[in-house]
Amino acid sequence: MDLKKYIRTIPDFPKKGIQFRDITTLISNPDAFSGTIDIFHEHYKIRRIDVIAGIESRGFIFGGALADRLGVGFIPIRKKGKLPGGTISETYDLEYGTDTLEIHDDAIKEGQQVLLLDDLIATGGSLEAAGKLIERLGGEIIEAAVVIELVELGGREKIEPLKLYSLARYEGE
pLDDT by residue, tens only, the chain of 173 residues: 899 999 999 999 988 988 999 999 999 999 999 999 999 999 999 999 999 999 999 999 999 999 999 999 999 999 999 999 999 999 998 767 899 999 999 999 999 999 999 999 999 999 999 999 999 999 999 999 999 999 999 999 999 999 999 999 999 76
Classified as helix, coil or strand, 115 is: strand
Quote the pLDDT of residue 96: 72
How does DSSP classify residue 88? E
Active site residues: 58, 95
pTM to 2 decimals?
0.95
- Give the per-residue pLDDT at 162: 96
Look at the domain 46-170 and name its fold.
Answer: Rossmann fold (3.40.50)
CA proximity to 118, closest of 144, 97, 82: 144
Residue 173: what pLDDT?
65
d(CA 35, CA 66): 11
For residue 55, give the nearest of 26, 32, 83, 33 by alpha carbon. 83
80 close to 56: Cβ distance less than 8 angstroms: no
